[in-house]
Structure 1
């Protein structure tokens, strides 16, 4: 299960991730992160049964937590299966099927956004609600 943890500006210099891991004993995998003086965002992967516990601990320290059900969204009506996304994706989310249609393994997504910038038809989005 992947989740997004957002840190406010005033908590960036605090060791929140370390505190949560030490307090809960829950191991996490860091999928991606972006932290600067204005705040931060970390995408984590945890076991499904750990979600509520780790969410409560992060929130008690001033962070917000969002469950990531949809990591990358493709509007099939806009997509022309050109494959531009394949060449830039560091996680190999995209590939071609035998019939040259575009295939996606969304669980590999690290939300870097490179595919969104590359798509000439603006068929991709992160956490989109207008998929398919």
Structure 2
């Protein structure tokens, strides 16, 4: 493990730990996510299902909500983990949420509980992102 991997390992560990707290009685598909703020602090989130679909919350949305509630507004790294055959990317809505608070080149690590991982960026996950410039009428 290189020194460059240590912050990533810490982020992935936080996502792995919070995944255990996911509330997924309907799908039985627990997801953990963690985002790092500009301060360096890690904000974890897990999916929370609701019998009245689609009223649940994705893990990524929960992590972002904690980041914002803590007074930060910039995501500098993302990790998502699930018990799946291949690394699971964020849903479309969460990709847009990540794009709201992260730069195009913000690193994203997608992982499985068995150790497989894929590294990408927010920009690669959402290349045609909608942003505030689209709302400019001038």
TM-score category of the 2 structures, normalised to the smaller one: under 0.3
Which protein, 1 or 2, shows the higher relative CO under an 8 Å CA cutoff with sep ≥ 6? 1
Q: Whose radius of gyration is greater, 1 or 2? A: 1
Bigger strand fraction: 1
Task: Give the TM-score taking structure 2 as reference length.
Answer: 0.24
